[in-house]
Amino acid sequence: MDGIRGIYMDHAATTYTKREVLEEMLPFFTEYFGNPSSIHKFGRDVRKHVDTARERVAKALGADPSEIYFTAGGSEADNWAVKGTAYANKSKGNHIITTNIEHHALLHTCEYLEKEGFEVTYLPVDEYGLVSVEDVKNAITDKTILISIMYANNEIGTIQPIEEIGKLAREKGIYFHTDAVQAVGSVKIDVKEQNIDMLSLSAHKFYGPKGIGVLYVRKGVKLINFVHGGGQERGRRAGTENVPGIIGLGKAIELANENLEESSKRIMGLRDKLIKGLMDKIPYTRLNGHPVKRLPGNANFSFQYIEGESLLLNLDMKGIAGSSGSACTSGSLDPSHVLLAIGLSHEIAHGSLRLSLGAVNTEEDIDYVLEVLPEIVERLRQMSPLYEKVKGGNTNV
Ligand SMILES: *Cc1c(COP(=O)(O)O)cnc(C)c1O
């Protein structure tokens, strides 16, 4: 598809930019180069298209265009939502509730705020990665100003009970933010129905360009400005707009929502075939994440007695791109905080592999992985002294 070589199964890390999206962006580098804040025709023409992109985003989320703020991506949107509400509502309280499986953009922001005098509760999750609504309820104090819980997890794909958490937060008068970077374009979202006050998304996770995202902020939510300067984004986020990015994001979200059901169904079919095939073929394997409450494209496995990094390298040599849950981006050898949070031991977490499927994948890709992966796992296991001892025993992990 669109000239992609090799078997790409790392859509949770990023996606390619769809041809239709790129084509819609291109004129905004050249003939439509005006600054959308300018009064003249060059500016006005561009402004019109920025407004259209904003309307497309609003429509996809069930929001009003005036509630859509363009940012430089998902990380910025997360930072803004959390720091923005924390600082703006300090007089009401200093307590934030989140989970221990959030993306680092959220977790590290919360850790920063702890140093600034805020208190953060990091809720645990169950073995499937689900947070309990009861736990959220019990964590609320009269100092709680924000609940931030991700829509769907980027590593294990688990989808949280967003609507129930939103309802609870609304009843208690506490702001509710969700990092929906993995969910947008894969599952149907309605910020009004789901009582969401703030939501982060990022174009490069749904076939749009990198470096552009959105923070949805419900009308009436109090948050401080993230970037000070000019009057862009209704004075709340300064800086000349990333116009081509905004145009691309608008097109990408529209395309994603048009084909949401159909593409999710197709990808889910591939994912289920992959999961079943690998679980059948490879003993001592565990599927991480929830069996059904999970993103259509997410498959995450732990293979006992092997090391995720070696597995990745071997897959790469066969032209298959996946991701390991064992090493974090900082290059440390600590296993992923998400895999530890669902109760995996360090040893088992180290043998993990995420294959995230998307638009580029086909039945043939799945067949190829089902042929190649079991052989690689077996070969790596033969090198493990522990594996020798257990062969032929209980195969449940
Ligand atoms: C990718 C991702 C982010 C970060 O988005 P960027 O646009 O890359 O900054 C945040 N949260 C989740 C869940 C993600 O998957």
* pLDDT 10s digits, 164-182: 999 999 999 999 999 999 9
Which mutation among 181, 199, 328 tests ligand 1's pocket best, with the greatest number of atoms within 8 A of CB? Answer: 181
* Dihedral over alpha carbons 124, 86, 202, 61 (to 10 degrees): 90
**What pTM was estimated for this model as a whole?**
0.96
The C-alpha angle with vertex 244 and arms to 297 and 34, in degrees rounded to 5, equals 165
DSSP 321: E
Amino acid 2: pLDDT = 56
Q: Tell me the Ramachandran region of residue 159: left when phi exceeds 0, alpha when psi lies from -120 to 50, beta otherwise.
A: beta
Confidence at 331, pLDDT banded by 50, 70, 90: low
- Asked if pLDDT for residue 330 goes beyond 50, the answer is no
Q: Any residues with Cβ below 6 Å from ligand 1, and which?
A: 73-75, 78, 103, 105, 150, 154, 179, 181-182, 202, 204-205, 213
pLDDT tens column, 245-290: 999 999 999 999 998 999 999 999 999 999 999 999 999 999 999 9
Share of the chain above pLDDT 70, in %: 95
- Asked if pLDDT for residue 390 goes beyond 50, the answer is yes
Average pLDDT over residues 233-250: 97
Distances (CA, A) of 260 to 16, 186, 271, 293: 17, 6, 16, 17
Which mutation among 179, 186, 206, 242 tests ligand 1's pocket best, with the greatest number of atoms within 8 A of CB? Answer: 179
Amino acid 319: pLDDT = 96
- Asked if pLDDT for residue 329 goes beyond 60, the answer is no
Distance in Å, CA 79 to ligand 1 centroid: 11
Ligand 1 atom closest to the Cα of residue 12 is 15
Selection from 178, 224, 225 nearest residue 201 by Cα: 178
Selection from 205, 156, 214, 149 nearest residue 179 by Cα: 149
What is the distance in angstroms between the CA of the first residue and the CA of the last residue of the chain? 37
Distance in Å, CA 181 to ligand 1 centroid: 6
Joined together, the tokens standing for residue 122 give: 């990091």
User: Ligand 1, atom 3: nearest CA belongs to which residue?
Assistant: 74
Confirm if 360 and 5 have CB atoms less than 8 A apart: no
Does residue 126 or residue 308 have the better pLDDT? 126
- Asked if pLDDT for residue 142 goes beyond 50, the answer is yes
Mean pLDDT of the chain: 95
Confirm if 143 and 119 have CB atoms less than 8 A apart: yes
Residue listed under structure tokens 């600082």:
87
Distance in Å, CA 216 to ligand 1 centroid: 15
Which mutation among 158, 202, 204 tests ligand 1's pocket best, with the greatest number of atoms within 8 A of CB? Answer: 202
Ligand 1 atom closest to the Cα of residue 205 is 1
Helices (H), the chain: 19-25, 41-61, 74-88, 104-115, 133-139, 162-172, 243-258, 260-281, 308-317, 337-341, 346-350, 363-382, 385-390
Confidence at 385, pLDDT banded by 50, 70, 90: confident
Amino acid 384: pLDDT = 86
Joined together, the tokens standing for residue 183 give: 């969910």
- Asked if pLDDT for residue 386 goes beyond 60, the answer is yes
Amino acid 334: pLDDT = 79
- Asked if pLDDT for residue 315 goes beyond 80, the answer is yes
Q: Which stretch of DSSP H or E encloses residue 179?
A: strand 175-179
Distance in Å, CA 77 to ligand 1 centroid: 9
pLDDT tens column, 206-215: 999 999 999 9
The residues carrying an active-site annotation are: 328
Residues paired with 144 in a beta bridge? 95
Residues 6 or more apart in contact with residue 25 via CB below 8 angstroms: 209, 244, 245, 247, 248, 251
User: Ligand 1, atom 12: nearest CA belongs to which residue?
Assistant: 181
